[in-house]
Structure 1
Amino acid sequence: MTSSSATSEIQIRNFRADEKEAVDAVVKLAWTELIGLMPEGDKLAARLGSLTEQADQSEVIVAELSGEIVGAVGYVGATQPKPSFFQPDWPMVRMLSVSPAHRGLGLGKRLLEECIARARRDEAAVIALHTTAVMKSAQRLYAALGFQQVQELPLLFGVPCALLTKNMRA
């Protein structure tokens, strides 16, 4: 299968409750390599099921390829609970995850673009996320889609963390 034909088979859609196990597996695969780069990676490992566990407080979006869940992200709306360093009226992107075997197909970009589209739907002025220095490819994606660092945050799992925002009205 060529990457162009694989890309045409990708469906970005809302998560269904019966997909919890598949989504959790993708998140764990996606984040496992980062755990070893973080001094407190074991604390992150313990939270890798939180995307689906908190599905009632966000919109979980999945990337499906040929019937298989290969990526996921959470879109947390302005009125939903989020860490205190986010402005209450900002929607946020949560735990962007792509299966390592399916990277390079643009899945992360498509999932992030869907979060941006939902922020537009919600008429948000800003969409935000937080990231760490160990997420190099994710940071390149965030920059390419217009996110900018606005604040350094306290260490997260033992690594530097930053708050990034995208002005939705620019």
Structure 2
Amino acid sequence: MEPAGSQTAQLAALTNEMSADDALQKLMAGNQRFIYERSKSPNQTLSRLDEIMREQKPFATILGCSDSRVPIEVIFDQGLGDLFVIRVAGNIVTPTELASVEYGASVLKTRILFVLGHKNCGAVSATLKGGNLLGQMNMLIDSIQPAVDRSTQQPAIASKMPSAKTCFGRWSG
């Protein structure tokens, strides 16, 4: 049985009147179900697909990495039309991604913007290793490098990790 707060959040989502706090609570509750292997896989039917073809009312915009190991609807235990998902390698925000975020907020009226990072990001790892990648992939590195530079120049961060390469290199997978 779910807590009364989550039932309220579910009802509010049907009318797109959910508060930002309720939206965050719904994301976190779904993530807890996923973590503890109790996913419900809601709203994943053909009738749901028919319903959202007429009008979509996602309750959250999520900016996440395009890494296939981080399937956003799955890790938040949400279904068709529940989330407006923007995925790009390295979680970078170019004018195109920003336009999508704005669309989620102003047109779809999502209640929250959630930026989801993850360990072992290939785009971040490639940036830390340096060098050139093929084709347009260097645009990712060019967008990520300033954040790496800023983080390694911050005394609070620099004192906790000898180098970004060392820290990130400890993670496998």
Normalising by structure 2, we get a TM-score of 0.27
Which structure is higher in helix share? 2
Which structure is higher in strand share? 1
Normalising by structure 1, we get a TM-score of 0.28
